[in-house]
Every structure is written in structure tokens, then in C-alpha cells.
Amino acid sequence: MNAMPPVEVKTTNPAVLAFVEEARALFKPENVRWCNGTKWEYQELLKSLVDAGTAQWLNPAKRPNSILVRSDPADVARVEDQTFICSRSKDDAGPTNNWAGPDEMKRTLAQLYDGAMAGRTMYVVPYSMGPIGSPIAGIGVMVTDSAYAVANMHIMTRVGDRVLAALGQSTDFVRGLHTVGYPLASPSAADVPWPCNKTKYISHFPETREIWSYGSGYGGNALLGKKCHALRIASVKARDEGWMAEHMLILKLTNPEGRVKYVAAAFPSACGKTNLAMLVPTIPGWKAETLGDDICWMKFGADGRLYAINPETGFFGVAPGTSNESNLNAMKTLHANIIYSNVALTDDGDVWWEGMSEPPAPAIDWMRRSWTPGSGRPAAHPNARFTAPAAQCPVIAKEWEDPAGVPIDAILFGGRRASVVPLVSEALSWRHGTFLGSIMASEKTAAAAGKVGELRRDPMAMLPFCGYHMGDYFQHWITVGEKGGSKMPKIFYVNWFRKSPEGKFLWPGYAENSRVLKWIFERCEGTAGAVDTPIGKLPAEGALDLNGLNIAPGALSELLRVDRDGWRTELPSIREHFATFGAKLPAALNEELDALGQRLG
């Protein structure tokens, strides 16, 4: 089962050693392997995945050093129904999270955990979220029996001995336990290609900075550095310490004169962060570079501004829809050293997914069945993903690993809204921007298990990721804004997904979103025109650069129309949404809602 020998333990930190020993005693693995983070180790992990039948090599002439992994069809996305915030008080988890008491949850999980790694290797993965030694970064130690999770962590985070060295004797690290929940009778017993368990728990203990995950090997359920640590646990730490942990991409924009702005943007899962983070502007002279595509940690710098780092080192990106036309830089990033999950396999040993190119024929779909175009079912799962090293992105910004972070000029909120919300608006103030973030809504996507397409409120794109009471989270935004005062980023609300009555996207999106970014940049500089409307500031006539854009007549006026009736119709549902937060809803947000109602008349 396990080809890799145990390696030397490179820490004397008693807290780390005790944590690992307790995990070993509980999980009862066949052996324990401390991950050192080397390239050699990564290659061994890939090899063991191939040997176990979990993965297969892709054609090295097409995708060097890359593997294809197909998961169990019952384990393909985050499981929000089984995600828990186990704070001591139920009230601290708030109305948007599942809650169980920490003792009760630990009792339940300890039973499931008992012997769960029998016959398997327990990997110990010390990892850093953020550049090692950065004052904005944070460390975690994760144990897992999934080589797939470890290989992904290698790409997505900084793993290994250097993390233990940076941690030293400190006890300030997030403790993560993960098992797929599929013990083996013996190391030589027959295994399945994708071990997992029907029972799943993704549990967080915010006060003690612990994550206990059970039963799933996929994505955010298993790569504990990502949503579990960098958002759910980190959001609590950020509240306690006065900083921000957000579900945001980070982008560097340079105008033709060489001036730079840094933009962070919060869109819900599968709503366009990776695409915006890597876009190629269509306006001459403008440059966009990537710092991050999913998570953003921001702390105040000595100058009082918010400085951001990308805590990750890779992209766990949505494959379907990614093409040379939609996201050329992602396609270039994907040439080698990639883990592909749940995409289709072509005849010549390459990968394929819906929207990548003309359909290949024949192919093997993500469920290992033969597939032909027109068969009526997708070849790749809608939440098929690629795991790619960020350093391979051709437009990665040179400062992406700067431990000091980059000063953020603008924050964007956005979601999938077929109607009501215009292409872009600027908030009237930080407080108004916080209000806009708090009422964000989006149609559900395949990134989480459940019904796709349903409109739901997803405040700041953090609904599945906020580790505490969402009302307190809103207050934290307001408090941080008061602290930063005039030095806070400007806030904008964008919507690339407005549709015509026939159901067609009105805005071409993707690279053309650079036109909106240009307006945002120039609003930050104070040079672009805006008009005041009841819902915020919209581009003045001619302020949005549309040179060379091919857009249906009438589409633009629809995109920038203030839909007073639509907004008025939404007011009761916003009130209802706010009511769910009870006394924890900041009064400031009710005031903003009243003010909006008055402005709408």
C-alpha cells in the first residue's frame, strides 16, 4: 500500500508531537509519514496514487507530469449540509451555519475516527498559508490518510520542514484531522480507487482552532488549508485580531501610464474569480496580473492601509468552461504538473471538458464510461477541477509572494444575477459597501452538493465559509472600516451575469470585464465620471470604455439601468434576510436599508 518509508521528524515542538501522537492513537494507521515538502515526495505521492488505481498518468507528450483522478460519484463537491461550526455557544455559529456542541461533535467523530486509518498511512502535513515568515501568514498541521489530499496540499500550500522550522516551539497552529473513513483489514487488503464514506462531517472548532473532517476526499472537504482553515477558522481569528479573511481573488491592474491598483473581488463559488484573476484586458495598453484566485487575507499596514496576501500557492479551479477563449492564462498554466479531477479522458491520453474546445470523439467520461458527443450527459463533472501551481501562471504578478502583501485599492462584490443588479455600481461609502456585500445574492452552482440555479443570499460570498455568526461578521466589516477610515478600499458591486428575457447573457464577460475594471481603476484615481442613483454610483454617459466592443443594441442601457421596481420588490426579502440575524444585525445595515428604501421612493 505504502511505498514511502517514514522520514525523520523535524520538530521537537511538544504541541505538534502530542497532536500527532493523539491522532495516531485514535486513527490507528499502519504507519506514519511526516511530509517534508520535497519535489521527490510529491512524485512519490503521484506514483502511489497511480499504483493504487486512484489516478492515471496523462500522455506525457500532451500533459507532462500530470495525472487524472476520478472520484466516487458520491464525493464530488463540498457538502454544506454536513459542514458544522462547533463553537461552545450555538449563538456564535449563527443562523447560517450548522451547529453542534464541541464535546458532542468530538464524541461522534471520535467513534468514527477510532481505527479509521487501519491498514493505511497517516501523513503528517505541516503547511503554511501565506509566505513563510509573513506577518499575515498562518500555520497548520494536518494529518490525513489521503495521498490525493497531500499531493493537492503540496500544490496549494507551502508544505514541509521549512514550515516546522518557522513554527519553532509555538503553539499557534491550526490542528487538522482528516480521514476518508475507509479502513482496510490489512495493508494488502483490496482497496477501491476512491475510498470515502457515505457518512461525512466537515467540522470546525473555532475556539480551539481545530478542524475534524471525515468521509470525503474531495476539494474543500479534504484540502483543509483551503476553506476550512483559510476561511472558516481564519475568519474567527481575523475577527479576534482585527483583520480580514475573505473569499476573494487578488488582481494587479496597470494602466497605460504604468500606475498600479490592486483589486480584491468576492464572488461565490464558480462565479468567476479564477477567470477575473487571470483576464487579458481587451483595452489597449492595460495590463492585468494575478496574485490569487480564491482567498485573500488582509491586515492593516503601518500606513493604515489594508495589505493583502494570497495564502495559497496554487489554483483549485473549475475546469468546465475554461478555454483559450475564456481564460487563456489558465490554459497556459495547465500545460504540465497538474492534478485533474473528474474531467474526461480523450483517446490520446489528454483531458477534455465541456467548453474547452470542439468535443473529442470518442472519450471516457469522468465516471470511466465511454462517451460520445451528443450523448446527452456531460463528459466532465460540472465541478471537475484542476490543481495547478500558481507559479506556472504566465501572468502571476512578481509581488505575489511578497510577505508584506499588496495594498488593496478596491473591493468588488458580485454574483450570478439574471436581473435587477446592474453591470457595475460604486458604493457610496464603506458602510454602504458593507450593506451591498451583506445582501449579495447568487444562483447556486455545482461547487456545492445540492440544487443548482436557486437564488440564495450569499453575503460577501462567505455564506458557506464564515466561521461565526454572520451578524457579528457584518459588524466586523463595519468596525474594520471605521478603523481604516478614508484609507479603506472603495467598494463596487458587479454583475457579469445579467440576462435578456430570452435567457441570453447581456454582457460578453470574461476579457471584456476589463472595461469595468478600467472604470473602477479610474474611479479610484478620481478621474472617471459617475452619476448618483438610488442604488449607488453608476458610470456616467461615456465613462465606460466601449471602444471596439461588439454588443447588442440596447444591451448596454439594460445593463446599466437602475431597475427601481426590481429593487423595490427585493426590499421585503432583504428585510427577511436581515431578520434572520436578530439582535446581532448591526443597526448601521438597517439604516442603510431604510435609506435605500427612501432613495427608491
Residues belonging to the active site: 271
User: CA–CA separation, 592 vs 152, rounded Å?
Assistant: 43
List 194, 316, 352, 521, residue binding ligand SPV (CB under 6 A)? 316
User: CA–CA separation, 215 vs 221, rounded Å?
Assistant: 9
Strands (E), 145-292: 158-159, 174-179, 201-205, 210-214, 244-246, 249-254, 260-266, 287-292
Q: Which stretch binds ligand GTP (CB under 6 A): 156-164, 205-213, 312-320, 537-545?
A: 312-320
List residues bridging with 292 in a β-sheet. Answer: 250
User: CA–CA separation, 212 vs 103, rounded Å?
Assistant: 12
Site size for ligand SPV, by CB under 6 A?
9
List 44, 294, 365, 443, residue binding ligand GTP (CB under 6 A)? 294
Work out whether 294 is an interface residue with Mn ion (CB under 5 A): yes
- Toward Mn ion, which CB reaches closer, 183 or 320? 320
For residue 106, count CB atoms less than 10 angstroms from its CB and return exposed for 0-12, middle for 13-18, buried for 19 or more.
middle
Work out whether 387 is an interface residue with ligand GTP (CB under 6 A): no
User: CA–CA separation, 244 vs 225, rounded Å?
Assistant: 16
Rounded to a whole number of angstroms, the minimum distance from the CB of residue 207 to ligand GTP is 27
Q: Which stretch binds ligand GTP (CB under 6 A): 141-149, 202-210, 254-262, 507-515?
A: 507-515
Work out whether 78 is an interface residue with ligand SPV (CB under 6 A): yes
- What is the edge-to-edge ordering of all strands in the sheet holding 306-309? 244-246, 296-300, 306-309, 406-407
Work out whether 596 is an interface residue with ligand GTP (CB under 6 A): no
Work out whether 297 is an interface residue with ligand GTP (CB under 6 A): no
* Residue 272 touches which of ligand SPV, ligand GTP, Mn ion, none (Cβ within 5-8 Å per kind): ligand GTP
Q: Exposed e or buried b for every residue in 122-161, given b needs 16+ CB within 10 A?
A: bbbbbbbbbbbebebbbbbbbbbbbbbbbbbbbbbbbbbb
Work out whether 226 is an interface residue with ligand SPV (CB under 6 A): yes
Work out whether 158 is an interface residue with ligand SPV (CB under 6 A): no
- Phi then psi dihedrals of residue 16, to 5 deg: -70, -45
The alpha helices in 288-408, defined as continuous H runs, are: 328-333
Work out whether 13 is an interface residue with Mn ion (CB under 5 A): no
Which secondary structure element, helix H or strand E, spans residue 299, and what is its range?
strand 296-300
List 55, 149, 447, 574, residue binding ligand SPV (CB under 6 A)? 447
- Toward ligand SPV, which CB reaches closer, 226 or 457? 226
Which residues in 233-292 contact Mn ion (CB under 5 A)? Answer: 269
Q: Which of 168, 167, 114 is nearest to 138 (CA)?
A: 167
Instruction: Determine how many CB atoms are found less than 10 A away from the CB of residue 583.
Output: 6
Work out whether 37 is an interface residue with ligand GTP (CB under 6 A): no
Which residues in 201-220 contact ligand SPV (CB under 6 A)? Answer: 219-220
Which secondary structure element, helix H or strand E, spans residue 84, and what is its range?
strand 83-85
For residue 241, count CB atoms less than 10 angstroms from its CB and return exposed for 0-12, middle for 13-18, buried for 19 or more.
exposed
Rounded to a whole number of angstroms, the minimum distance from the CB of residue 229 to ligand SPV is 11
User: CA–CA separation, 310 vs 248, rounded Å?
Assistant: 9
Q: Which of 301, 317, 287 is nearest to 380 (CA)?
A: 317
* Residue 363 touches which of ligand SPV, Mn ion, ligand GTP, none (Cβ within 5-8 Å per kind): none
Angle at 317 (CA atoms; ends 315, 321), nearest 5 degrees: 145
Rounded to a whole number of angstroms, the minimum distance from the CB of residue 505 to ligand GTP is 5
Work out whether 320 is an interface residue with ligand SPV (CB under 6 A): no
Work out whether 269 is an interface residue with ligand SPV (CB under 6 A): yes
Q: DSSP 3-state assignment of 101?
A: coil
Work out whether 510 is an interface residue with ligand GTP (CB under 6 A): yes
* Residue 414 touches which of ligand SPV, Mn ion, ligand GTP, none (Cβ within 5-8 Å per kind): none
Binding mask 263-292 for ligand GTP (x = CB under 6 A): ----x-xxxxxxx-----------------
- Toward Mn ion, which CB reaches closer, 269 or 310? 269
Work out whether 175 is an interface residue with ligand SPV (CB under 6 A): no
- Beta-strand relationship, 314-318 and 406-407: unpaired
Q: Find where cell 472548532 sits.
A: 205
Rounded to a whole number of angstroms, the minimum distance from the CB of residue 294 to Mn ion is 4
Rounded to a whole number of angstroms, the minimum distance from the CB of residue 569 to ligand GTP is 24
Q: Which residues bind ligand GTP (CB under 6 A)?
A: 267, 269-275, 293-294, 317-318, 320-321, 326, 447, 496-497, 505, 509-510, 513
Site residues (vs Mn ion, CB under 5 A): 269, 294
Residues binding ligand SPV (CB under 6 A): 78, 219-220, 226-227, 269, 294, 316, 447
